[in-house]
Structures are given as C-alpha cells and as structure tokens.
Amino acid sequence: MTATLRFLGTGDAMGVPRVYCDCPVCAEARASGVNRRFRSSVLIDEPETGLVLIDCGPDWGRMMETAGLRFAERMLLTHAHYDHIGGLPEWADACRWQNRRGIVWAPRATIAEVADRFPWLVRSAEFLPADDGFRLGGWNVRVWRVNHGYNGHAHAYRFDHAATGWSWAYCPDAIGLSAEEKAPLAGLDLLVLGTSFYHETIPYERRSVHDVVEALELNRELRPGRMIFTHLSHDIDLTRRYDLPDNVRFAVTGLAVPLGG
C-alpha cells in the first residue's frame, strides 16, 4: 500500500480570506471558497504508522473537521512560528481527552521554543529530537535548517523510502537558499515548496518566503519529478489559469498525492 500526502492547509501565515481584506481573492474565498485556505499543514497517511501531521497551526481544529478527521497522534514540526504551532494546545487537549500520548519530532531548537511557550505540553506528548534523522514507517527522514529571510530560519524535511528509493521533501518557509541548503532538495520525485506571492515586490530584505517566479527558477535548477506550491497568500487566485510547467501545480485544500511510483 502506497503512502499518501494530503494537503489540509495551504495558506500563508494570515490564511485566506484575510478578515480585513476585500480583494477579489478574499471575496471569492468568502463566496465559493475555492481560494479559502487554512494555515499550511499536510497529513502523511503512512501504512506502517498511520496518520502523521506536519505542522499544527491555529486552524488545526477547523482544518481537521473540514477534512473529516478526528485525530492524528504523530506530528513533525518545521519551526516554532505561530502559524505552524498555534494549534498545539488544542491538539494536546485532544490527546488528553482521549488518553493518548502524542509524539512530536522536531529539531532541538524548535522543541526548546515550543517548551518555552507551552511548558505543559510535555504532559500530553513526547517530543523527540529530529536533528540526527529518524525512521518513519518505511521512510528515512532527515531535517535541516533553511533560510527564512526576514523571519530568521525554519527547517525542511526530506523523506527517502528505504525499499523503493522514492523521495520527496517539504519546505514551506524558505527563501534565498544557499547551495548547502538546496543540496538535500536535489534528486526528488516530489518537492513541496512554499510560495506566498506570484511576484513579491517589497524589498528583498523584508521578505521571508519564495515567490512563484523564484520557485520556478528552482524547478529548472533542481528538476524534481513534480513540484507543488503551498503556503499561498491572497495574491494567488486559484480561479485563474497560470502558465506553469507540466510538472508544477498549486496545492488546493484536500489535494491527495500518492507518495510512490
């Protein structure tokens, strides 16, 4: 049985619609909902381990209900910014009510930040350092630090299947990657990359996530089998037709992708 990746949240730090905004994308999100986006999170449905979340933003409860899901006790964290950990108290409460102890893999620095913000979470979950790599079902998993521009740094995860060699990576919050940071993104069958805007025009030193133009340059450089853009702001309109390469698409809420041949 092949593992599956499901996109539960595909939005940037503010989500879509932004409550204060009347732009066409936010208006459409309120009306038909094609552009409605929770904060970024994906779900790995792995035959050996069951459901595994990557990141747990403040939309966790609504996101799970929308997906028809009630719980996932395993999780990976990319970094400790609010849009990626704001749902941890609600998730921990679900652990407590069901008398199930959660398991969270994250870099040591991220674990320390989470513990400082939510010190009581250790009563409901076990936090395991991911820095030296670990095994998740059939996957060998590695994590590394990536440039997050104006917002400091985040982390990306690469998954290599031990039996088939199929590989994919999740990198939702990054910009201006160095050669060392890009190296683990080479030779992938699937790359999930954050792209908040199509072409972001604010000064580069104030930016924190790739735009689509930059991501397409990475697609040409890294040549993954497939590339999916997530972490989308209200600049991306999914009712529009974008001129993307055949191997590239935008994530939509609920999109399910097989993780294998």
CATH of residue 122: 3.60.15.10
Mean pLDDT for each 10-residue chunk of the chain (261 residues)?
94 97 97 95 94 98 96 97 98 96 98 97 97 97 98 98 96 98 98 98 97 98 98 98 97 96 67
Number of domains in the chain: 1
Say what the pLDDT of residue 204 is: 96
Q: Does some domain include residue 198? A: yes
Report d(CA 26, CA 119) in Å as an integer: 36
pLDDT value of position 2: 87
CA distance 181 to 219: 15
Assess if residue 82 is contained within a domain.
Answer: yes
Q: Which two tokens stand for residue 232?
A: 């989308």
Inside any domain, residue 260: no
In a domain, 210, yes or no: yes
Q: Is residue 30 part of a domain?
A: yes
Look at residue 157 and tell me if it is in a domain.
Answer: yes
For residue 150, give both structure tokens: 């104006």
Is residue 151 domain-resident?
A: yes
Do 186 and 179 meet the contact criterion of CB atoms below 8 Å apart?
Answer: no
Asked, for residue 261, whether it belongs to a domain, the answer is no
Q: What one-character-per-residue DSSP string does the chain give?
A: --EEEEEEE-B-TT-BS-TT--SHHHHHHHHT-TT-BPBSEEEEEETTTEEEEE---TTHHHHHHHTT-----EEE-S---HHHHTTHHHHHHHHHHTT--EEEEE-HHHHHHHHHH-GGGGGTEEEEE-TT-EEETTEEEEEEEEE-GGG-EEEEEEEEETTT--EEEEE-S--S--HHHHGGGTT-SEEEEE---SS--S-GGG--S--HHHHHHHHHHH--SEEEEESB-TT--TTS-----TTEEE--TT-EEEE--
The b-or-e profile of 203-237 (16+ CB within 10 A means b, else e) is eeeebbbbbbebbbebbeebebebbbbbbbbbbbb
Domain that holds residue 50: 3-254
Angle 5-9-15 from CA coordinates, rounded to 5°: 160
Give dist(CA 223, CA 7) in Å, integer.
Answer: 22
Phi first, then psi: what are they for 90, rounded to 5°? Answer: -65, -40
Q: How far is CA 137 from CA 50, 51, 168, in A?
A: 9, 11, 15
pLDDT at 261: 67
